[in-house]
Structure 1
């Protein structure tokens, strides 16, 4: 009888220990969020991550941002894109990554009928938006008309892994490569630690690594394009996954005679686009959201409200009168799920 009691005591004790272990494991506090900031791709980049490999993830992500920045800066003589732009119409062999960005850019240029155009390098430089240190100015109409002769995605030719530019076209992937870098950062984080959570924020374009502790949404503010600071918002969205990108006339601009001139151009006129001052797009990838947000400035509001969802995004648009327009599906992201 005593032996049987001892056996039961042992069994109950073992069960109690197992319950405690399960409780501790289930409610063990996950690693704290670690934050790191850096300047890359001409903007402020912030990575927020929680993982037992946070240090490795942060180092890897920022190393990738620096690599992409160096490779795709069209105005840096050491970059591969600069060499393509100055190849004098000759065939240039490119690697798989550049080919991927080229084909994605051509896809969105064709999809939007040229509203998204990645061949505006000469025009961007003409206005002084190629660098923070360049003089910003309003070019003469003759200068703009001459530069327009060297613009057009139909002047880009691809044959296998080779590319050739016609009529002196200059590539500038600024409207898509930041989104690509964010997508790569998220991929890197998940490859190092599939359980990692957090987000990557590059100048307000955000890719989600994973939901907040417990599967909660990340709360993302939509910047007021006429607010006094970056913290002034006109909307909020909730994301557990995916990405969001915003293009605005407040990012890079100058004022002349009381008029704002900014870096998003109409490839048909050579002047900054009109009608929209901010466009936010939610999509599965930040590359897609980035390209579509830029295209909206030239697509127009009514067209965008109809077709952006068909292109894989949901949009929040602010027109030049500061009136807000949303695609029907955008409401989903304005609610907690």
Structure 2
């Protein structure tokens, strides 16, 4: 499904770029959702020409491309950028049984992977090393156990898709964790081969794929001669060619918490409001979201939102997930080490930033 339209927007007006919220009763295989985070974009330079905007449903979310250029040129460039994203989705999506990610999960090995798949898998291992396992793409068995993966444990009642929110047992979580560990991924570049060291290991690239896609789409736009644009896929946004002001909304209240100025950088936000269900634990109602700590098998705690600004789009994606899992102190320290900027909102709604 796709739609396109030209929108006349004054450069000093706030243009709502996207607001997304979960409807748990409609959680299905693709986990289509809308983020509760709101990104306001304000063009800071003077520009009389209205932007061209096009939105399509891709990668399990709404992908929006905004371009300031001639209508025909912008439309053609956006089409090529969307085609690039579609190709990446066919390679990386674990919801597509024919993707390279799905083939690897199903067979435990993949010979002659595409350059894109090799690049992402190498980055995933690098991210695991950089975070000491706080980011781990092999967390897939845990994700599925809790009902957020392509294979939900519906029979045992753990799937938000059917509104049944019984929680997995400690025993089941422990068993799933036996298959978690990014060091089980073996990348043999000499023989152009990727395989798993242990049977049953699986990957979920949700914490890295959209960032990769946004970055590649931006490369296409630049190649097509586009100078000013925004590419947005869910919580991942790349602002190119001019200074854009991004306002981060409090996920629990109205109002903007922090305003960031961005140029030729990616802004990525991970939050507990993206995909979640409400369940009971020890007699108390609790929010169970989709961002898991690979070390415990439970949804990460202590943070409700983590935003990262970085030059590398793929790194920005896994960094926001990692910061969410690591928490404020270790998360912000990681950003400084990686020379990225960021903002983190804790469970008690404290706002902490790298600057």
CA contact (8 A) 2:249 2:257 kept: yes
Paired position in structure 2 for 1:37: 55
The CA deviation at 1:190 is 0.4
1:59 counterpart = 2:86:
no
Out of 89, 99, 117, the residue aligned to residue 79 of structure 1 is 99
Give CA-to-partner distance per residue, 1:7-35, whole Å, 9 cap, x none.
Answer: xxxxxxxxxxxxxxxxxxxxxx7753101
* SS of the residue 2:75 aligns to: helix
Give CA-to-partner distance per residue, 1:103-131, whole Å, 9 cap, x none.
Answer: 11111110110111111111111111125
Out of 292, 309, 319, the residue aligned to residue 336 of structure 2 is 309
Query: Which sections of structure 2, spanning at least 5 residues, go unmatched?
Result: 1-46, 151-159
Paired position in structure 2 for 1:145: 174
Rounded Cα–Cα distance in structure 2 between residues aligned with 1:247 and 1:120: 16
CA contact (8 A) 1:279 1:315 kept: yes
* SS of the residue 2:336 aligns to: coil
Bigger share in strand = 2
Out of 296, 300, 307, the residue aligned to residue 327 of structure 2 is 300
* SS of the residue 1:105 aligns to: helix
The CA deviation at 1:159 is 0.9
CA contact (8 A) 1:119 1:153 kept: yes
Query: Which sections of structure 1, spanning at least 5 residues, go unmatched?
Result: 1-28, 212-216, 329-337
Compare relative contact order (CA 8 Å, sep 6+) and give the higher one, 1 or 2. Answer: 2
Paired position in structure 1 for 2:209: 177
Change (3 A) 1:136 1:246: farther
Give CA-to-partner distance per residue, 1:141-164, whole Å, 9 cap, x none.
Answer: 121111111110011111112011
Matched residues, number: 291
Paired position in structure 1 for 2:25: none
CA contact (8 A) 1:155 1:169 kept: yes
TM-score (structure 2 length as normaliser): 0.78
Paired position in structure 1 for 2:219: 187
Paired position in structure 2 for 1:46: 64
Out of 135, 139, 142, the residue aligned to residue 116 of structure 1 is 135
Paired position in structure 2 for 1:275: 302
Change (3 A) 1:136 1:276: farther
Bigger share in helix = 1
Paired position in structure 2 for 1:197: 228
* SS of the residue 2:204 aligns to: coil
TM-score (structure 1 length as normaliser): 0.82
The structure with the largest alpha-carbon Rg is: 1
Show structure 1 runs of 4+ deviating over 6 A.
none
Correspondence 1:221-300 to 2 at 5 A: 221-227=247-253, 232-257=255-280, 258-300=285-327
Out of 197, 200, 209, the residue aligned to residue 166 of structure 1 is 197
